[in-house]
Amino acid sequence: MTKKHGFLLFVMAILMATLVACGGNGDEDANGDDTADTNGDDEEVEERVLELSHLWPEGSSPQHHEIVSGIIEEFEADNPGITIETDIYGNEQYRENLSVISAANELPDVGMTWGGGFIEPYAEGEMFTPLDDLVTDDFVPGTVDAFAVDGQTYALPLELNIAPVYYNTEMFEDHGLEAPETLDDLKHIVETLVDNDITPATLGNREPWTGSMWYMYLADRIGGPDVLTEAINREGSFEHDALIEAAAELQELTDMDAFINGFNGLGNDEAKGYFINEQAAMYMMGTWDLPEWTTSEDNPQEFKDKIDYFKFPTVDGGDGDIDSFVGGPGVGLYVSEDSDMQEEAKAFVSHFVQRWGELSVEEAGVIPATAVDTDGMDLPDMYIDVLNDLNEATNLTLYADVQMGQDTEDVHLDMIQALMAGEVTPEEFAENHEEALAQEED
């Protein structure tokens, strides 16, 4: 019997061997192309490898990528014996990957993270190491707080954005409109534009953090800068009158057709397309979009010339002021608790933050989380205006979805969609939030 099957066994053995060999080939490729492969870890003697993963690939963010490469080269030159090896991912890919590698306990020495509720589990799970000794006065007040958990800082912020309302000045002028100062002005603008068959504002609420920013501003202007934050950190209640009223105002704007038809089904990129193609007059978005209105080569100059921005208007009788912003830092750098080169990693993070702060505005159009000295920089006017507004800002409220823990965040985002679709009343909206927040507290 065995004789007969010998042939087949032989065939299978060859197949398996080929398979393994193929895999081996792949490995060789990796080593060939990339001298500092992870495999090098085992046999290291003097050469030490610091792993960095970031989310600025050359394809989508060429300027960011270049600055980072430059920073790495500088650091390697200053620290002989250390090689920095990078894994680069796209944005979504990075998020997905981070949850898997952290579940398997395989974080790189240095990586990027988001703040607020996102960083909490990593801080509490002791995956990231505290970086308090690296915090300097250079950081814009409030930015580091977004990465603090229980009084310790677990990452250093790299960017700072606020969310103004961009508008098409031509469309406003054609209908005798000016940038609004109060919510009533804004409503007047909405009415006028709707009467003239123009979509007042575009909104990609399939990604409800966009609608959330509108809600946050209303809450801030009605109840002052602390109401929402206190509701989230449980010093206050979400059923505060101001928070319910803000929901009612947002619903009223929706009922007035302030937002584009079908906003709950549009993604942010699609929504922005309507603004860029001048099919909607207003668009609220973070200042990370400034390049779109200033330096972008994709958008025609005559369009860019028409775009200006205004601060979200105040509400008569409300407690908020116009220089209070919704915004916050985007990504920050963390150092892994398990890193066997923590000192080097920390030194690298410090160096990164400093150099990034010096280079990022001018070369990549990114407003860093560290103070910017605009002297001698050649920046578009809109950047100068935003940087001035940041200097004069009385308050910066971190995006609500980022502030919240991840369970509440989902309730919040769902509720924003439901509120704007008229599926829940402002009271139910607040009640649902309160319930989720109370539950999370337990």
Strand bridging mode 280-284 / 199-201: parallel
Q: 43, 45, 46, 59: which one contacts other proteins (CB under 8 A)?
A: 59
Q: 82, 88, 134, 322: which one contacts other proteins (CB under 8 A)?
A: 88
d(CA 354, CA 234): 35
Q: Decide: is 331 part of the binding site for other proteins (CB under 8 A).
A: yes
285 closest CA partner among 219, 214, 221, 225: 214
Residue number with CB closer to other proteins (181 or 421): 421
Strand bridging mode 307-310 / 324-328: unpaired
Stretch that binds other proteins, among 163-171, 189-197, 257-265, 337-345 (CB under 8 A): 257-265
Residue number with CB closer to other proteins (58 or 373): 58
Residue number with CB closer to other proteins (228 or 404): 404
- Site size toward other proteins, by CB under 8 A: 94
d(CA 294, CA 50): 37
- At residue 332, the 3 state secondary structure works out as strand
* Contact track, other proteins, 6-45, x by CB under 8 A: -xxx--x--x---xx-xxxxxx-xx--xx--xx-------
d(CA 164, CA 161): 10
In contact, 353 and 159? CB cutoff 8 Å: no
Q: How far is the CB of 427 from other proteins (least distance, A)?
A: 17
Q: Decide: is 294 part of the binding site for other proteins (CB under 8 A).
A: no
Q: Scanning residues 118 to 147, which ones bind other proteins (CB under 8 A)? A: 121-122, 124-127
How many contiguous H segments (helices) and E segments (strands) does the chain have? 17, 14
Q: Scanning residues 397 to 436, which ones bind other proteins (CB under 8 A)? A: 406-407, 409-410, 414-415, 417-418, 421, 423
| Number of Cβ within a 10 Å radius of residue 135 | 14
In contact, 156 and 135? CB cutoff 8 Å: yes
Q: How far is the CB of 92 from other proteins (least distance, A)?
A: 6
In contact, 319 and 222? CB cutoff 8 Å: yes
Q: How far is the CB of 38 from other proteins (least distance, A)?
A: 7
Q: 185, 270, 337, 338: which one contacts other proteins (CB under 8 A)?
A: 270
Query: Quick one: CA dihedral 361, 367, 372, 374, positive or negative?
Result: positive
Q: Scanning residues 175 to 234, which ones bind other proteins (CB under 8 A)? A: 205-208
Q: Decide: is 81 part of the binding site for other proteins (CB under 8 A).
A: no
Q: How far is the CB of 23 from other proteins (least distance, A)?
A: 2
Q: How far is the CB of 181 from other proteins (least distance, A)?
A: 29
Q: Where would I find the H helices in 313-370?
A: 342-364
